[in-house]
C-alpha cells in the first residue's frame, strides 16, 4: 500500500465510505481510515437506513432531501444493489390531526407515490393507520453491511489519528504509535466527535439512535414510517428503529432498554407476536444545527478571529479556508439518503474544482456563529 495518497478520508460511516468510493471513481488514489477496524461502528451502523423522500410543504430542506433521495436510490441500485432493498416505504400519519396535513403535503411530493387507503394498509398487515403515502421506489439499506461492502471497494485501514499537520503542500497524519500517513487532501467524516480542528461554528451534535433486528415469519412486504421506522421482512429480518434521544448520556434516558419504547410502538403498527430479537444497534447520528448536511471546505477559525476582530460585531470579511481540508458530515438521521450526493458534490470540488452547492457548505454558519461569541 503506498504511503502517499491524493486524499485520505477520516471516518468510515456512510458519509466517509461514499466519499472515498466516489473520489476513487473519479480517478483519485484514496485511503479510507477509521479508528475501528470495522466500518460503520457508530451512528451509521445503528441506522434504520431508509432511503425515502421527505414529505412536507416544499421547504428548502425537503427540496434538497428529495434531490438526494433520487441520487441515492440510483447510486445504490447501480453500485450496491445487494444491500439496497426497494421494498417501497409507506409514510403513515401519526394521528388524525397529522392526517389532515397530508393533503397539504401532496403537491410537494416530487417522487413517484400513490395514496394508500386504510383497508389497503390493513391488507399489508399495518394496523391503526390513516390514509397514507406509498413511495414505491423507496427502500431500506443493510446499514453496516453496505458500509462494509463500500469499504471493500477502496483501500481501507484502521488508523486512529492523533495529530494532523500541513507542510504547505501535504497533510501528515500521526497516530499514538508515531506511524504516519500522507495525503494532499483530507476529508473529515468523523461524525459528532471532532478533536482535530476548531469547527465549533458547524455546531455538529449527536442524536442517539437505536435499531433492533428481529427474526420473524411475518410476511411484511413493505417498509413504513410513522413515529418510528419498521422495515419490510428481508431474509427473515424486520428492523425497528428511530433517532430519538438528544444528549450526551442517552443510556440514562432509555434506562438501558433502548428498544423497549420502540417495540411497544411497533406493536401498535404490525403484529409483533413472533418477533425474536436477534441484535441491538445503538449509536450517535451527527447532525447540523439547521439539519442540512455539511460538505465543503473548512474555515481557518483562529486566523479569521485574529485577523478580523470586528467579525464578532457583524463585519463580513472574505472567508479564509484551511488548504486542502474538507468535511463531509452532519447527514443526521437521513445519512443513507444524503451521503451519496454529498460525496458526489465534494468529489467534484476536490477533483474538478467545482464549487459546492451553497445549501450544504459549512460557510453558511460561520458569520452568525461569530456574532454570538
Domain contains 327 = yes
- Residue with the bigger pLDDT between 267 and 195: it is 267
Domain shared by 227 and 265, yes or no: yes
Domain that holds residue 263: 205-283
Domain shared by 198 and 299, yes or no: yes
Domain contains 76 = no
Please say which residue of 251, 283, 315 terminates a domain.
283
Q: What is the rounded end-to-end Cα distance, in angstroms, of the chain?
A: 45
| Spatial distance between the Cα atoms of 34 and 38, rounded to a whole number of angstroms | 8
**pTM (predicted TM-score):** 0.94
Domain shared by 194 and 297, yes or no: yes
pLDDT digits (tens, 9 = 90+) for 160-178: 999 999 999 999 999 999 8
Domain contains 131 = no
Domain shared by 195 and 295, yes or no: yes
Domain contains 115 = no
131, burial (CB in 10 Å: exposed 0-12, middle 13-18, buried 19+)? middle
pLDDT digits (tens, 9 = 90+) for 9-28: 999 999 999 999 999 999 99
| Spatial distance between the Cα atoms of 297 and 195, rounded to a whole number of angstroms | 17
Domain contains 108 = no
Domain shared by 193 and 244, yes or no: no
pLDDT of residue 252: 46
Domain shared by 303 and 276, yes or no: no
Domain contains 141 = no
Lowest mean pLDDT among 2-11, 73-82, 151-160, 297-306: 2-11
Q: Domain total for the chain?
A: 2
Domain contains 304 = yes
Domain shared by 278 and 302, yes or no: no
What's the CATH code of the domain at 276? 3.30.70
pLDDT digits (tens, 9 = 90+) for 334-368: 999 999 999 999 999 999 999 999 999 999 999 99
pLDDT digits (tens, 9 = 90+) for 188-234: 999 988 889 999 999 998 888 889 999 999 999 999 999 899 999 99
Q: What value does the mean pLDDT of the chain take?
A: 93
Domain contains 198 = yes
Domain shared by 192 and 295, yes or no: yes
Domain shared by 215 and 351, yes or no: no
Domain shared by 188 and 294, yes or no: yes
Lowest mean pLDDT among 32-36, 93-97, 200-204, 254-258: 254-258
Please say which residue of 257, 283, 309 terminates a domain.
283
Please say which residue of 283, 307, 342 terminates a domain.
283
Amino acid at each position: 500500500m503506498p504511503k502517499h495518497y491524493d486524499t485520505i478520508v477520516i471516518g468510515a460511516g456512510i458519509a466517509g465510505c461514499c466519499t472515498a468510493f466516489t473520489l476513487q471513481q473519479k480517478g483519485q488514489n484514496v485511503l479510507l481510515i477509521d479508528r475501528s477496524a470495522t466500518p460503520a461502528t457508530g451512528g451509521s451502523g445503528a441506522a434504520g437506513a431508509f432511503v425515502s423522500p421527505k414529505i412536507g410543504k416544499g421547504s428548502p430542506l425537503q427540496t434538497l432531501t428529495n434531490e438526494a433521495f433520487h441520487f441515492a436510490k440510483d447510486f445504490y441500485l447501480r453500485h450496491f444493489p445487494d444491500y439496497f432493498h426497494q421494498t417501497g416505504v409507506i409514510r403513515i400519519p401519526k394521528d388524525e390531526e397529522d392526517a389532515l396535513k397530508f393533503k397539504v403535503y401532496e403537491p410537494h411530493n416530487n417522487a413517484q407515490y400513490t395514496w394508500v387507503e386504510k383497508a389497503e394498509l390493513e391488507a399489508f398487515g399495518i394496523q391503526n393507520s390513516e390514509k397514507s403515502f406509498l413511495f414505491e421506489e423507496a427502500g431500506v439499506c443493510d446499514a453496516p453491511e453496505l458500509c462494509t461492502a463500500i469499504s471493500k471497494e477502496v483501500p481501507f485501514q484502521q488508523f486512529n489519528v492523533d495529530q494532523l499537520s500541513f507542510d504547505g503542500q501535504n497533510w501528515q497524519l500521526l497516530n499514538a504509535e508515531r506511524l504516519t500517513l500522507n495525503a494532499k487532501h483530507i476529508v473529515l467524516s468523523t461524525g459528532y466527535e471532532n478533536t482535530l480542528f476548531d469547527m465549533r461554528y458547524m455546531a455538529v451534535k449527536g442524536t442517539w439512535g437505536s435499531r433492533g433486528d428481529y427474526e420473524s415469519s411475518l410476511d411484511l412486504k413493505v417498509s413504513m414510517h410513522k413515529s418510528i421506522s419498521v422495515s419490510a421482512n428481508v431474509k427473515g429480518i424486520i428492523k425497528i428503529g428511530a433517532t430519538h434521544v438528544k444528549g450526551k448520556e442517552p443510556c440514562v434516558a432509555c434506562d438501558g432498554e433502548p428498544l423497549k419504547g420502540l417495540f411497544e410502538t411497533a406493536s401498535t403498527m404490525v403484529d409483533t407476536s413472533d418477533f425474536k430479537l436477534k441484535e441491538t444497534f445503538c449509536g450517535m447520528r451527527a447532525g447540523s444545527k439547521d439539519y442540512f448536511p455539511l460538505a465543503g471546505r473548512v474555515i481557518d477559525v483562529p486566523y479569521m478571529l485574529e485577523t478580523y476582530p470586528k467579525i464578532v460585531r457583524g463585519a463580513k470579511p472574505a472567508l479564509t479556508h484551511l488548504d486542502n481540508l474538507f468535511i463531509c458530515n452532519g447527514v443526521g438521521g437521513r445519512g443513507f439518503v444524503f451521503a451519496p450526493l454529498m460525496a458526489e458534490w465534494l468529489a467534484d470540488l476536490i477533483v474538478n474544482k467545482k464549487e459546492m452547492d451553497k445549501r450544504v457548505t459549512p460557510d453558511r454558519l460561520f458569520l452568525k456563529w461569530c456574532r454570538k461569541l
